[in-house]
Amino acid sequence: MSEPIIAPRELHGKRLLGYIIGGFGFSLTNMLSGVFVFQYYVYTINLNSLLVSIGLAIQLIIAALCSILWGVIIDNKKPGKFGKRRPYLFYGLPIWVVTSILLWLPPWYCPKNNSMFWPTAIYFWIIIIINPIAGTSVIMAHASMFPEQSQTEENRQKIASSGTILLIIASILGLLVPLVVQSLLPDPENIKWWDSSGKIVLFYIPLIGTTFAIFALFCVVITFFSVDESFHKATLEAEVEKVSISMIFHQMIIPAKDKKFRKFMAVGLFNGVSGRLVGLIIIPFLIFVLKFRGTDYFIYVFVSFTCKFGWYYFWKKISERQALIKAFSLCIAFSVITSFLELFFLIEILSFEFKIALFIISYGTVLGSMYAFGLFNGPVYSALVYEAAAKIEPETENLDEAVSSISGAYTGLLTFMASVGPAIASLLLGFILMGSNQENSEILTICLASTGIFYLIALLYLRQIKLDKSISEIKTISIESKEILPPPE
């Protein structure tokens, strides 16, 4: 007798919104720290840029390692009453929320003549290390659900599209709010904690950070109650191998041996370098290169909003008409070209109006294309995971078990490589911006334009990936029904 089947699982309506809202809350909080924590500790708390960059690099490496460990642990968890991955949305959440708040509340500020003040540095390092240890358990549970919750290419693209829109909104809000604070400063070039402008920063930024962290808490709770892992009940009573160190390394080897996935990890690594440079350098660039003051900062908000959404819809249309890899390649290629246009900012005689026009064309395109990457990363990742699962279980049409067993390992290793890139970028920037260099317009411009080099390397790796025939319809076994059923609403 043929095995009963159900239609592929998909996310729609409230369940889709509930799933992506968790990522939105996390992204909003992490976006604030990603773009402003360097600015906050170096330019206001007065901590040496090298010490800050070391902390940021350690944070990213810890996050990468924990991503692998959490990914494999979650993969090997026996499904329980609340599912397999859902409980991990809550395990590290309280600690992550608390450390996300304490990050903005250092008990000591660095003295005027001593930016290498160790009590502040150690406090910063401790908080910045604990935060990802707890946070990655939530992130990995959320990310590794994706291939299981959505099994069709069309639905994955829909989720990726919706998630990218929320990511863009998070990125705009994450930088908009501190820029509003920046616009209130009487002297934005002098914002140390002892300056009047610095005191304004010290009041508003911790308040904003606390608000974002609490909002993220509610978003993750919504995700927990929105996703359905009842399909795991078929294996509820099955024996699950206990997690061991050897098992963890064994499962990490699976994606590491996947040639296509290695190339995709390289894409994530070099895109990560560029993205981190853009995030860390933008506020100093606005202050010391474009010389923004007061309401000038709202020019950036306008550029951010229009370019992110404009390029997002442009690349969405391209993705609908072109093959996935080809469309992704074009997106990165645009970033390569426009990144190098930023070198024109080295010409000092340019008028303010011309600089703004150049900023919109160059940085606006880079920013918009970068936030469109989400349209491609998720579908490419899912396709590669399903290709790998099909090789593991070539004789079955039910890929659920195979995907479930490797999804976390693939997600963890990909996240690791994507974290190594930003860690490298943080260290490079920390070395470069020591001392007076942090206010040098030429150095800031070259750092921003250098993102084109890393985007180019990512593009070269991406062009080497050839996807197998898309798995657009996946049949999964139902032990309760003998007819084809629609996916759960």
Tens digit of each residue's pLDDT (9 = 90 or more) over 192-236: 898 888 899 999 999 999 999 999 999 888 887 777 655 655 555
CA distance 381 to 326: 15
- Confidence label for 404 from pLDDT (cuts 50, 70 and 90): low
Residue 238 within a domain: no
Q: Is the model's pLDDT at 44 over the cut of 60?
A: yes
Q: Is the model's pLDDT at 161 over the cut of 80?
A: no
CA distance 52 to 50: 5
Please compute the mean of the pLDDT values over residues 352-360 and round it to a whole number.
Answer: 92
Instruction: Report which of residues 419 and 363 the model is more confident about.
Output: 363
Please compute the mean of the pLDDT values over residues 170-178 and round it to a whole number.
Answer: 83
Residue 138: per-residue pLDDT: 84
Please state, for a pLDDT cut of 90, what percent of the chain lies above it. 25
Which string of DSSP letters, residue by residue, matches 229-263? -GGGGGGTTS--PPP-HHHHHHHHHHHHH-HHHHH
Please compute the mean of the pLDDT values over residues 277-303 and round it to a whole number.
Answer: 87
Say if CB 344 and CB 358 are below 8 A apart.
yes
Please write the tens of the pLDDT for every residue from 411-451: 767 877 877 888 899 888 888 888 788 888 899 999 999 99
Say if CB 280 and CB 35 are below 8 A apart.
yes
Residue 482 within a domain: no
Q: Which stretch of DSSP H or E encloses residue 435?
A: none
Residue 149: per-residue pLDDT: 61
Residue 337: per-residue pLDDT: 94
Residue 20: per-residue pLDDT: 78
Q: Is the model's pLDDT at 159 over the cut of 50?
A: yes
Tally of residues, the chain: 489
Residue 477 within a domain: no
Residue 8 within a domain: no
Residue 258 within a domain: yes
Residue 475 within a domain: no
CA distance 405 to 410: 10
Q: Which residues contact 160 (CB under 8 A, 6 or more apart)?
A: 374, 375, 376, 377, 378, 379
- Confidence label for 1 from pLDDT (cuts 50, 70 and 90): very low
Neighbour-count burial of 297, counting CB atoms closer than 10 A to its CB (0-12 exposed, 13-18 middle, 19+ buried):
buried
Residue 377: per-residue pLDDT: 84
Q: Give the CATH number for residue 329.
A: 1.20.1250.20
Residue 336: per-residue pLDDT: 95
- Confidence label for 476 from pLDDT (cuts 50, 70 and 90): very low
Residue 11: per-residue pLDDT: 64
Residue 262 within a domain: yes
Summary mean pLDDT of the chain: 81
Structure tokens belonging to residue 87: 């409980």
Residue 132 within a domain: yes
Please write the tens of the pLDDT for every residue from 65-105: 887 777 777 776 666 666 677 777 778 888 999 999 999 99
Please compute the mean of the pLDDT values over residues 154-175 and round it to a whole number.
Answer: 77
Residue 456: per-residue pLDDT: 95
Please compute the mean of the pLDDT values over residues 271-282 and round it to a whole number.
Answer: 89
Q: Is the model's pLDDT at 325 over the cut of 80?
A: yes
CA distance 387 to 468: 7
Residue 10: per-residue pLDDT: 63
- Domain holding 282, by residue range, is 13-229+243-470
Neighbour-count burial of 359, counting CB atoms closer than 10 A to its CB (0-12 exposed, 13-18 middle, 19+ buried):
buried
- Confidence label for 453 from pLDDT (cuts 50, 70 and 90): very high
Instruction: Report which of residues 130 and 487 the model is more confident about.
Output: 130
Please compute the mean of the pLDDT values over residues 470-487 and round it to a whole number.
Answer: 34
CA distance 131 to 62: 10
Q: How many domains does the chain have?
A: 1
- Confidence label for 484 from pLDDT (cuts 50, 70 and 90): very low
Whole-model pTM: value is: 0.74
Of the given ranges (25-34, 132-141, 398-407), which has the lowest mean pLDDT? 398-407
Please compute the mean of the pLDDT values over residues 22-45 and round it to a whole number.
Answer: 87
